[in-house]
Amino acid sequence: MDERQGKDGEPAGRISRRGVLKTGIAAGVLIGAGAWGSPASATPLRQPASLPHPKLPAGTDTIPQIEHVVVLMMENHSWT
C-alpha cells in the first residue's frame, strides 16, 4: 500500500463517503442513546392540562409579535 493512501484506498487527506457515513451513524447513535446531554440538564415534563407559564393568568398573550397563523393544506394527486 502506498504511504499516500488511507486505509480504504482513498488518497490521504480526502474525505470519503464511507467516512462521512461512519461519522453520521456514530453521531446518530450517540444522540439516540442520550449521550449528548446529561439527565441533570433535562427539563422536567409538565403535567397534563398545566399552563406553559403558571405565573401568568390563563389567556395572556406571551408572543405579541405574531398576529396571524396561516395553515395551507394541499391535496397530493401525484399517484394519478
pLDDT tens-digit profile of 25-54? 998 888 877 655 556 556 778 888 888 888
Mean pLDDT over each residue of the chain, to the nearest integer: 78
For range 44-72, the mean pLDDT: 88
- Provide the pLDDT confidence category of residue 3 given band limits of 50, 70 and 90: low
One-letter amino acid of 33: A
> CA–CA separation, 2 vs 12, rounded Å?
10
> CA–CA separation, 61 vs 56, rounded Å?
10
Percentage, residues of the chain above pLDDT 70: 70
Rg of the Cα atoms in the chain: 25
Return all residues near 60 (Cβ < 8 A) that are at least 6 apart: 53
